[in-house]
Structure 1
Amino acid sequence: MLMDLRERIQGWIAYVIIGLISVPFVLWGVGEYFSGAKNKPVAEVDGLPISQQAFEQAVSQQRQAIIQKLGGSVSAELLQSLNLDQQVLDQMINERVLNVFVHKAGFRAPDVVVADLIRSEPAFKTNGVFDVKKYEAFVAARGATVADFEAGLKQDIVMQTLENAISESTIVTAPELDQIVRLRDQTREIGMVRIDRARVVDSVAAPTDVAIEAYYGAHKTEFIRPERVKLRYIELSPQTLAPLVKVTAAQVEQAYADYVKKQNAQVVRTVRHILISVPKNADGAAIEAAKNKALAARAAIVSGKISFGDEARAISDDPGSKNQGGDLGEVAPGQMVKPFEEAMDGIKVGVISEPVRTEFGWHLIEVTKESHPDIKPLVDVHDKLVAEVQDRQVEKIYYDEGEKLSDQSYEHPDSLIPSAEALGLKVQTSDWLNRDSGTGIAASEKVRQAAFSKEVLEQKLNSNLIELGANHAVVIRVDQHEPATQLPLADVKNQIARTLKQQAIDQALADAAKQIGKAIDSGKEPQVAATAVGATWVVPVWLKRTARDAPIPAEAIQAAFALPPAPEGQLASKALALSDGNEALVVVQAIKDGDPTAISEQDKKALSAEIQQAQAQQTLGVLLKALRDEAKITIHQKAEKTATP
């Protein structure tokens, strides 16, 4: 597979820029930024626009990357919580100010450097010579023009030059390196007092009505039900359109015939071959000589003078199968080049083919085994075939039905009933939804945005056709509307009681940990102090800060390493609430620094490079902040304007 040149020349600076915001994103070519936009730009940096098209494409790309990374199962609420619009726009501004900086600073990538880079790429060569058609096809496959692609390469080279300049300006001294090793490899003897939540629950009284009322009065803004609506809607989907499709017996019979044909084509064969290679530039005599060699080999095998496997090991030019007696293993349809596959399909098991010519040379082919797929009777696959025919029919009528629904809902904007009658569909009703969340069709942000739009909410009109996915669309209108409402105390009393109870338990746990900490500070043994209040003492163990599978939770280890060393004769301790709901008091009994003399020179060099890169990243962060402070940044749409370098 071809590797994108731009990916190969980008170094850490691209990832630093990515790391300066909370959502990862990839660098775009400079050509995308400096090309004019046909519509109003999303933002401008020093007068240079970030086009709406570039912004939307970037947001879409990032959204798809997140969905793919999370296995394709991502809720609309999660995507919305990431606030991708803000993150991506902020990222594009970061990139832009750096682009402007490097151009003003005089960084340039000469055309000859870009040309040499492209011409040296093996993926663009044919027989060792640069092939312009391969290059142009590579660029076109990425949806770019040659000019834009080369502009992006120039920008990447410039950014790499900046990266090198920043990296070379950082120096890691030997004392700094030794100190890092002492801290990195430090071990601490850590014990822990665990105070179980279950021990405290029964000792905490339920909150009084007075306390609940006081909390409600102080936190009224937390108990406001947001503005919400219920919708009436008509849905086009495979499920709603299926009743409109009538599947005939003839269609099912044809589908079964297609199924049988497809199954018969999926024969898996175990194959072996002998290859007599022919160079691409071979003349007629060389081609004929290779064929004669294959014929002679076939005659020897057929006559019984030599086995197929032994002949393959002796003369085959295929290095991948030669030592296995020509065995290619199981070969499924479509795996081999066409002439080879056609010959393989045309011979019976145990029969050696005549010489077969492919781009690689002459082959002798033998099928040693065939595996035919199971063909189920019609009765066993009937329902599945009906569903498949139905789905295909739905695909055919979906566009027309969508056009009809769109037209009908526009012609009758104050009701969905005429549209439903015209299409033979039902008007459905949603559950309550608000601007940020909903179920069913309202799980889609598109639906929620339309529901609270001026036309649908205030003017009480039908929405436009809203595309939700493949063969899936809706038209909505508001059925019921409720403004934001203060929830009465009676509706939230139990919720507040649970909150106050949990807060009281948290406080009781914290007080118990504080009491144990004071006892330890006064000289009591940690185990004695823990036992006195019914807590559990976890015996100390020596741990590194990166310890895994330790008897002490990772969060407690992290807290222990954040503690400063205690004065001589005392123990350092810190209370913390554990993520499992229990309370802990970590106790550090002793500390041993890492030994700089114990690591190899190779490890020191690697660590030095890491420190150097970290310092360079910090330098870039400072540079970005300064550049953003100096730049004139204008944002033309609703988005977070706070810089996040």
Structure 2
Amino acid sequence: MLMDLRERIQGWIAYAIIGLISIPFVLWGVGEYFSGGKNQPVAEVDGLPISQQAFEQAVSQQRQAIIQKLGGSVSAEMLQSLNLDQQVLDQMINERVLRVFVQKAGFRAPDAVVADLIRSEPAFKTDGAFDVKKYEAFVAARGTTVANFEAGLKQDIVMQTLENAISESTIVTAPELDQIVKLRDQTREIGMVRLDRARVIDTVAAPTDGAIEAYYAAHKGEFIRPERVKLRYIELSPKTLAPSVKVTDAQVEQAYANYVKKQEAQVVRTVRHILISVPKNADGAAIEAAKNKALAARAAIVSGKTSFADEARAVSDDPGSKNKGGDLGEVAPGQMVKPFEEAMDALKVGEVSEPVRTQFGWHLIEVTKESHPDIKPLADMRDKMVAEVQEQQVEKIYYNEGEKLSDQSYEHPDSLIPSAEALGLKVQASDWLDRNSGTGIAANEKVRQAAFSKEVLKQKLNSNLIELGVNHAVVIRVDQHEPATQLTLAEVKDQIATTLKDQAIDKALADAAKNIGKKLTADADPQAVATAAGATWVAPVWLKRTARDAPIPAEAIQAAFALAPAPDGQLASKALALSDGNEALVVVEAIKDGDPATISEQDKEALSAQIQQAQAQQTLGVLLKALRDEAKITINQKAEKTATP
């Protein structure tokens, strides 16, 4: 609800709803407090339930937000690793804990305040007056009622009041601000010893069978093949439906004729023009005078007294082309206003048009060159034309075929063969898939959810028609099912051997980095120490903690700024594994604090606001912990685990 409002309305939203963006929890919307849901709540906070329906919706919204933010390139494994269920449940519990707190504290948003805010919103006005119909239409479009919407708005205002109270209670002192500037603008002279993984690999022995067996025994729980299934399915798509579509020669010829017509229309012309502008408020006499000026220019050009380019430089009112002799360059179809384009299309190369009127004035147009697109013969285009006709026919029959497949698979729930025969399609087979991953059609989450649903998995029925995209749907049924299975040592031996070898390499690199660190002192030559150890020394440079495109990777810079200053005579250093698999020893040779005297008052104000916000979040975190400790929170683990967002 908040996001819908923020996107649709400005003004009072800045006062009433802009809050909570700095609060580390999500307000999921008050509408679900008043709606029903599944009977068994996922959790209760002081008697206030979190329905399973609300929980599933919140998890789904979070998943979709993450997928959208990352451009759709999110694997099921990544989503699973985020532990969204627990995060969302914590957020919803926090929200309810705060809701109970503000109610007990007596925070209220008076009806009059809410009414004034709504009535003052320009989006709800017609001719300056509040329009009830506009308001009700907006609320209805949000999928709620006026009562629920206003209840949610009251809750938002109350929560904003709480945040304001917390924020206003924080004070940023001048010494605090100076200390932050010193840290924020601090620079460090950072060098790095780099130990390449490739140099160590051959020096580390392969793990013994005994080590592999011991690792397997200690980590059996990691080697479980998840529950999985193989599917039989019928697929509706342009590819599967195309063979059933008969294409006639007449249809191919018509498609080719359309292709030719389209190609012929894509003529690119090189054009120049002369513009005699006409003001928008010009009277008839001014319009006629401008036309006569254009006619005189045309007569001079056609008679040979002057060239088109010279006349354009002399009389054209178009500043963009005047000094170029009126040259507009290449003009493709659709680039110019309609009267100009129609006159241009009618001209032969070298011909000067009569004056053409547009909203800009009178134009003289000359086409100096034409470029016609290549038109391939039908013999070369037949396959493409057949494919186009098939695609068009598939679009026409897809809906009916989908209805037929849905009906047939429902009427014959124990087999896909009758449906396949009725539609003239094949029953296809999938590879193994589990709840979180699959290939082919099983890469689609909708398919995996249906495959492990009670009806399809347990009752062994056909699924409903599953829409996968435009003109693309499937009906599935489970062909084979395997419960979660313990993998044998033989199945995972190579995997364990790789893991143990990697661990040994990691340890060898880490040990080498620590040994180098022990040899580094203020008097030592880092280059010589690194070379003796078979490592590479990256010479130190002065860097800020936010440095980009530095010779030292960002993760090493971050580690360097986490180091405490070293005692006299020593260098501060830290070994760390780099994300590329190599090892590094980051070395800090000198430190310079930022200077508070060098920042502007505007920067100070912005920084002070950031500190205040951070302190407010910290205060809110402490408040939330205290409230959660006092609240009676009941979590229904079974309901939470059975939720399928």
Normalised TM-score (structure 1) = 0.78
Distance 1:158 1:6, change over 3 A: farther
Distance 1:395 1:586, change over 3 A: same
TM-superposed CA distance for 1:331, in Å, is 8.0
Mapped to 2, the partners of 1:567 and 1:142 lie a distance apart of: 66
Per-residue displacement from partner, 1:429-461 (whole Å, max 9, x unpaired)?
A: 111112221111111222222222333223332
Identify which of 285, 292, 296 aligns with 2:289.
Answer: 296
Aligned to 1:112: 116
TM-superposed CA distance for 1:125, in Å, is 8.7
Are the aligned partners of 2:114 and 2:153 in contact in 1 as well (CA < 8 Å)? Answer: no
Distance 1:551 1:320, change over 3 A: closer
Q: How does 1:455-470 map to 2 (within 5 A)?
A: 455-470=455-470
Mapped to 2, the partners of 1:622 and 1:229 lie a distance apart of: 47
Distance 1:38 1:510, change over 3 A: closer
Aligned to 2:342: 345
Mapped to 1, the partners of 2:276 and 2:52 lie a distance apart of: 57
Distance 1:456 1:15, change over 3 A: same
Q: Give the counterpart letter for 1:16 in structure 2.
A: S
Mapped to 2, the partners of 1:88 and 1:294 lie a distance apart of: 69
Q: How does 1:22-421 map to 2 (within 5 A)?
A: 32-33=31-32, 36=35, 66-75=66-75, 78=78, 104-108=106-110, 109-118=113-122, 139=138, 164-262=164-262, 274-277=277-280, 290-304=283-297, 313=317, 341=338, 345=342, 348=346, 350-351=352-353, 364=362, 369=367, 374=373, 376-377=375-376, 379=378, 380-421=380-421
Aligned to 1:16: 22
Find the residue that maps to 2:448 and give its secondary structure.
Answer: helix
Are the aligned partners of 1:224 and 1:485 in contact in 2 as well (CA < 8 Å)? Answer: yes
Q: Give the counterpart letter for 1:502 in structure 2.
A: D
Per-residue displacement from partner, 1:11-40 (whole Å, max 9, x unpaired)?
A: 8634324xx36xxx8x7775x456645887
Mapped to 2, the partners of 1:138 and 1:268 lie a distance apart of: 48
> RMSD value over aligned CA atoms?
4.6
Are the aligned partners of 2:190 and 2:560 in contact in 1 as well (CA < 8 Å)? Answer: yes
TM-superposed CA distance for 1:531, in Å, is 3.9
Deviates more, 1:401-410 or 1:557-566: 401-410
Deviates more, 1:411-420 or 1:325-334: 325-334
Q: Give the counterpart letter for 1:400 in structure 2.
A: N
TM-superposed CA distance for 1:409, in Å, is 2.0
Distance 1:114 1:576, change over 3 A: same
Aligned residues: 607
Are the aligned partners of 2:231 and 2:479 in contact in 1 as well (CA < 8 Å)? Answer: yes
TM-superposed CA distance for 1:522, in Å, is 11
Find the residue that maps to 2:19 and give its secondary structure.
Answer: helix
Are the aligned partners of 2:236 and 2:402 in contact in 1 as well (CA < 8 Å)? Answer: yes
Are the aligned partners of 1:102 and 1:158 in contact in 2 as well (CA < 8 Å)? Answer: yes
Aligned to 1:518: 518
TM-superposed CA distance for 1:488, in Å, is 1.7
Mapped to 2, the partners of 1:140 and 1:325 lie a distance apart of: 59
Distance 1:328 1:522, change over 3 A: closer
Find the residue that maps to 2:373 and give its secondary structure.
Answer: coil
Are the aligned partners of 2:183 and 2:594 in contact in 1 as well (CA < 8 Å)? Answer: yes
Find the residue that maps to 1:550 and give its secondary structure.
Answer: coil
Find the residue that maps to 2:283 and give its secondary structure.
Answer: helix
Q: Give the counterpart letter for 1:452 in structure 2.
A: F
Distance 1:149 1:480, change over 3 A: closer
Distance 1:100 1:277, change over 3 A: farther
Aligned to 1:591: 591
Are the aligned partners of 1:273 and 1:328 in contact in 2 as well (CA < 8 Å)? Answer: no
Mapped to 2, the partners of 1:592 and 1:241 lie a distance apart of: 70
Mapped to 1, the partners of 2:267 and 2:135 lie a distance apart of: 39
Per-residue displacement from partner, 1:362-387 (whole Å, max 9, x unpaired)?
A: 95466555978737245254333322
Identity %: 68
Aligned to 1:581: 581
Find the residue that maps to 1:277 and give its secondary structure.
Answer: coil
Q: Give the counterpart letter for 1:216 in structure 2.
A: Y
Aligned to 1:446: 446
Mapped to 2, the partners of 1:159 and 1:410 lie a distance apart of: 50
Deviates more, 1:104-113 or 1:196-205: 104-113
Deviates more, 1:521-530 or 1:422-431: 521-530
Mapped to 1, the partners of 2:568 and 2:631 lie a distance apart of: 53
Find the residue that maps to 1:442 and give its secondary structure.
Answer: helix
Deviates more, 1:373-382 or 1:82-91: 82-91
Q: Give the counterpart letter for 2:107 in structure 1.
A: A
Aligned to 1:617: 617
Per-residue displacement from partner, 1:175-200 (whole Å, max 9, x unpaired)?
A: 11111111112122222222222232
Aligned to 1:282: none
Distance 1:638 1:273, change over 3 A: farther
Mapped to 1, the partners of 2:614 and 2:325 lie a distance apart of: 55
TM-superposed CA distance for 1:218, in Å, is 0.9
Aligned to 2:303: none
Mapped to 2, the partners of 1:330 and 1:291 lie a distance apart of: 34
Find the residue that maps to 2:576 and give its secondary structure.
Answer: strand
Find the residue that maps to 2:393 and give its secondary structure.
Answer: helix
Mapped to 2, the partners of 1:140 and 1:632 lie a distance apart of: 34
Distance 1:231 1:538, change over 3 A: same
Q: How does 1:483-502 map to 2 (within 5 A)?
A: 483-502=483-502
Find the residue that maps to 2:537 and give its secondary structure.
Answer: strand
Distance 1:623 1:447, change over 3 A: same
TM-superposed CA distance for 1:588, in Å, is 2.0
Are the aligned partners of 2:522 and 2:569 in contact in 1 as well (CA < 8 Å)? Answer: no
Mapped to 2, the partners of 1:267 and 1:5 lie a distance apart of: 46
- 1:503 equivalent in alignment to 2:503: yes
TM-superposed CA distance for 1:627, in Å, is 6.0
Mapped to 1, the partners of 2:325 and 2:621 lie a distance apart of: 61
Are the aligned partners of 1:268 and 1:332 in contact in 2 as well (CA < 8 Å)? Answer: yes
Aligned to 1:285: none
Find the residue that maps to 1:549 and give its secondary structure.
Answer: coil
TM-superposed CA distance for 1:290, in Å, is 2.9
Normalised TM-score (structure 2) = 0.78
Find the residue that maps to 1:450 and give its secondary structure.
Answer: helix
Find the residue that maps to 1:16 and give its secondary structure.
Answer: coil
Are the aligned partners of 1:86 and 1:640 in contact in 2 as well (CA < 8 Å)? Answer: no
Mapped to 2, the partners of 1:38 and 1:396 lie a distance apart of: 39
Aligned to 1:283: none
Per-residue displacement from partner, 1:447-482 (whole Å, max 9, x unpaired)?
A: 222222333223332222222222111122222222
Distance 1:106 1:541, change over 3 A: same
Aligned to 1:5: 9
Distance 1:37 1:530, change over 3 A: same
Aligned to 1:284: none
Find the residue that maps to 1:252 and give its secondary structure.
Answer: helix
Aligned to 1:286: none
Per-residue displacement from partner, 1:268-319 (whole Å, max 9, x unpaired)?
A: 78786745425xxxxxxxxxx7344323321332234997898774xx9xx9
In structure 2, runs of 5+ residues without a counterpart are 1-5, 301-310
